[in-house]
Amino acid sequence: MFVWIPFTKLIIGQKYKIIGQYEECIAIFKGYCRHCLPLRFTIVKSKRYSGDVLFSIDREIYEFLPQNPQWKMERRSVNLIVRRLIGDDNFEW
């Protein structure tokens, strides 16, 4: 599962999904260049790019959140409780 993250919260060495106007890729954040502009990444998976790449801050960046069994169980519990509260058997959070 991927969740949007602002560029100011990026962590060096973490893997992110980057979405631009025409492309989408998975890359590892390497750091900032001159006052946070642009952002340095090493591409892990992409159709268009390879190696080290600079991206501007206007790209949509998403952080990967692992879904472990505990998280899935908690989410199911919350869904059951909210469904009962609002009376909608098809509600999904």
Instruction: State pTM to two decimals.
Output: 0.63
Say what the pLDDT of residue 16 is: 92
User: What is the chain's pLDDT, residue by residue, as a tens digit (93 residues)?
Assistant: 788 998 888 999 999 998 877 788 899 999 887 766 788 888 888 887 788 888 888 889 999 887 777 878 888 899 999 999 999 888 877
Find, among 70, 76, 18, 78, the residue nearest to 47 by Cα: 18
* CATH assignment of 2-66, among 2.30.30, 3.40.50, 3.30.530, 3.10.450: 2.30.30
CA distance 43 to 27: 4
Residue ranges of domains in the chain? 2-66
Say what the pLDDT of residue 59 is: 86
Say what the pLDDT of residue 48 is: 78
Which distant-in-sequence residues (6+ apart) come within 8 Å of 79 by Cβ?
Answer: 91, 92, 93
Say what the pLDDT of residue 35 is: 65
Say what the pLDDT of residue 62 is: 93
